[in-house]
Structure 1
Amino acid sequence: MDILIGNNVFWNLISVGQVKLNEEGLLLQKTRLGWVLAGPMPNSYLGPKTNVVQCNLIQNLGVEKQFAKFWELEEHFNNKVKSNEEKFCESHFSHMVKRDANCRFIVTIPFKGDLSQLGDSKEIAERRLLNIERKLQGNPQLKSEYLKFLTEYSDL
């Protein structure tokens, strides 16, 4: 292995240009650092009872030039000036993201702006709920279907 690249940089290195070498998925991918060979290599290439995989690299640029190009790209991504919203988002994520006992993420949704913009939405929602409950009391079949739907939705 010549270099290990993080996912935050990897996708920015990929360029247009892909050559499929076989039906099993072995391919050449053009990147900003040169060509990369990727994909599975069938055991038929290795011969029977062989557990060795060999990786060869063909370079057009010298190693020094490749690393210089890589670090140029890396610096570009690290030196990007972040907006106030991006800073807030990163801060919110690092302070507000938690994991529960089932390893599921629990995230508080940030509200952009003033909470007073919500107006009387709670009162309106409560009135609508009471209105639906009155309507369902008068129609038992509709109430049964509604409860069935809510149970299914909750299970999903």
Structure 2
Amino acid sequence: MPKNIKLADPDFHVPSSIDLLIGAEIFWQLLCIGQIKRSDEHPILQKTHFGWLITGKIVTSQNLRRSTHHCYASISNNELDNKLSQFWSTKNYSDRQPYTADEKVCEEHFLQTIQRNSQGRFIVKLPIKEGRLIQLGKSIAIKRFYAFERKLHRQSALKQEYSDFISEYLSLGHMRKIEDNHDMITPHYYLPHHAVMKHSSSTTKLRVVFDGSCKANSGVY
């Protein structure tokens, strides 16, 4: 090491914690004119505003032991063509299994009901198995509502919140009352629901949850 050199980190060769990370936007502003390289076996000394830095490659005994490996590969155009043909034959995705009966019905339903609205969104009617609609009913919904009604009688605040919600649903047109002479021959289904109270909420403390995944007595949903 030249005697007139003042290193930015005199203990650069001793592992220690990092003091400062410098980004590339100011790194080049720290460099000064001055660089020393004695030989190919020595690292480079670079002058900076912090002092001289030692950088570059350090030659060790491992670097001196070099070995050379030679590889040779040869293939003809015919062999390459055959290999490519075999590759594409195994990657042929055009052969697919035939649709099942339900998949065919879904595809036909999709093609018949798909449309695009004025906002550019695609709309598709939900597929329904018409033959199983008759198996739906209202027994589970009524059973759950009776249990929920007993809870309302015990909690007056919850009852008031729930009544206000039902009244708002009626006024907004989200639901309507079914008359006694309603045609019950057509397929129908009563969606079970229950109320959830969140006292910590600053706006709406009651939220009504509709259980759309509830199965009917027949196991249909």
Normalising by structure 2, report the TM-score. Answer: 0.28
Structure showing greater Rg: 2
TM-score of the pair, normalised by structure 1: 0.36
